[in-house]
Structure 1
Amino acid sequence: ISEISFSYVTQGESDSVSFWIGNTGVAELQVLQISTGTEFFSVDPSQAAIPAGDSAEIEIQFMPTGIGAYIDTVLILSDDPHNPVLTLTVSGMGINEFADIVVSYGENDSVSFFNFPLTRVNETWIQTLIITNAGTPDLEIEEIFIDGDAFSTPVETALLPFLDTLEIPITFAPESEGTYSADLVINSANDPDEITYTVQLYGESSDHIILSVPDVYVTIQEAIIAAHPEDTVEVGSGTYEESIHLLDKNLVLRSIDGPDSTLVEGDGTGSVLTIAGGQSNLTRVSGFTLTGGGGATGGGIRIDSSSSPVLQKLIIVDNNADEGAGVYIESSSPTLMNVSIQNNNATGDGGGMAIRDNSNPILNYIIITGNDGDNGAGIFVRDNSAPVFNNLTLADNEAGTNGDALYIRNGSNPQVTNSIFWNNGEESIYFSPTGSASWITVDYSILDGGESDIFTNDNGTVNWGTGNLEDDPLFANVYLLQWPSPAIDAGNPASDPDPDGTLTDMGALAYNQTLQPPDPVVDFSGSPGNGEVALSWSFPLDPR
Structure 2
Amino acid sequence: MKVNFNVIFFMIIFMSMTTAQTLDEEHRLVCGNFDFGVIPKAARQFAIEERGRDEQYGINLAFQIIYGRYAYTDITLYLTINEHFEGASFLVFDTFTKHYIMDDWMQFTEPNQSIGLTIADRAGPHYLRIYAPHDSAAVSGYIVDENNNVLSSWGETDFLTWQSGSSSSSVYIQFDTGPGDTDVGNTPDEEIMRAVERLNYRHQNSNSPFHFEIDTIHHVHNNSWAMGEDLYDTWESVYELSYNPTEILNIFTVIGFHYNLGLGGVGVNPWYLESWDSVFYRVSMKGIYLTDLSAEEGRDHVFDHEVGHSLGLLHTFNYGCDLGTHGDYVLDTPTHAYANYVCDYSVDSCPDDPGNDPVDNCMNYVYGSECQMGFTVGQHGRSLWAIEQWVPTLIDLIDDVTSVPEDYTTIQEALDSAETGYTIHVSPGTYVENIIWPNTGGLRLIGSGPDSTIIDGNQTNRVIEVDDDASPPSEISGFTITNGNTTGRGGGIEIEMTGDILLSNLVISNNQASSGGGIVVEGIGGAWMGEAHVTVENVVFSGNHATGNGGGFSAHEDFVSTLFKSVTFANNTADGSGGGMNFYSMGNYAVILNSIIWNNTPDNLYGPHLFPYFSNIENGYDGVEIMNSDPLFVSDEDLRLQAESPCIDAGSAYINVDIDPTLMIPGEMWMEGVMVDLTPAFYGGNAPDMGAYESPYTAPLSLNEEISPLEYRLYPPYPNPFNPFTTLRYDLQKGGHVHITIYDILGRRVKTLINSRQTAGYKSVQWNARNDAGTAVSPGVYLYTIETGDPSTSPAHSFRQTRKMVLMK
Q: Normalized against structure 1, the TM-score is what?
A: 0.48
Could you say which structure has the higher helix fraction? 2
Could you say which structure has the higher strand fraction? 1
Q: Normalized against structure 2, the TM-score is what?
A: 0.33
